[in-house]
Amino acid sequence: MGRSPCCDKVGIKKGPWTPEEDILLVSYVQEHGPGNWRLVPTNTGLQRCSKSCRLRWTNYLRPGIKRGNFTPHEEGMIIHLQALLGNKWAAIASYLPQRTDNDVKNYWNTHLKKKLKKFQPAMELPQMAQACLNKTLATGSSSTIATYASSTEIFLVFFKVG
């Protein structure tokens, strides 16, 4: 009934990853490619479950992942797309190159949701999102606003919204 556990919980390390563990995982994936995550712990000697290895690679170590602060443009896109798509973080992240769905979700929950709650509680979410978006874009440069406006128009036409 249900899925079998990803690993035997005995002897599995939890908590923060060490730089040495990251190096082992990156070296293994560079040599063997991403995939077949069940073999990674035994082949590398990592005392982590296969799911933990996969998530560490996907969300933190994979080449091309953008780390650090979100730009006003990215904030605006997240607010707008969340109002349209809801909490579909993978779908939202697909519009933000190099950002993971986990990063987008965490940024929404720790920063943007708080910004939206500062607006009138009686507002519907799309109205709140638009009001917050206007404030976010007001702090950006004109090129950021123009870029966001053109990407939003393309998005709205593609999804036939508005």
Average pLDDT over residues 47-52: 94
Q: Which is more confidently placed, 111 or 116?
A: 111
Fold of 70-117: Arc Repressor Mutant, subunit A (1.10.10)
Domain boundaries in the chain?
17-59, 70-117
Q: Which is more confidently placed, 44 or 114?
A: 44
- Which CATH class for the 17-59 domain? mainly alpha
- Residue 155: the pLDDT is 40
Contact by Cβ (8 Å): 107, 68 = no
Q: How confident is the model at residue 158 (pLDDT cuts 50, 70, 90)?
A: very low
Q: Which is more confidently placed, 156 or 84?
A: 84
Does the global pTM surpass 0.85?
no
> Can 17-59 and 70-117 be said to share one CATH topology?
yes
**What does the H/E/C string look like for 130-161?**
HHHHHHHHHCCCHHHHHHHHHHHHHHHHHHCC
Q: Which two tokens stand for residue 19?
A: 């730089």
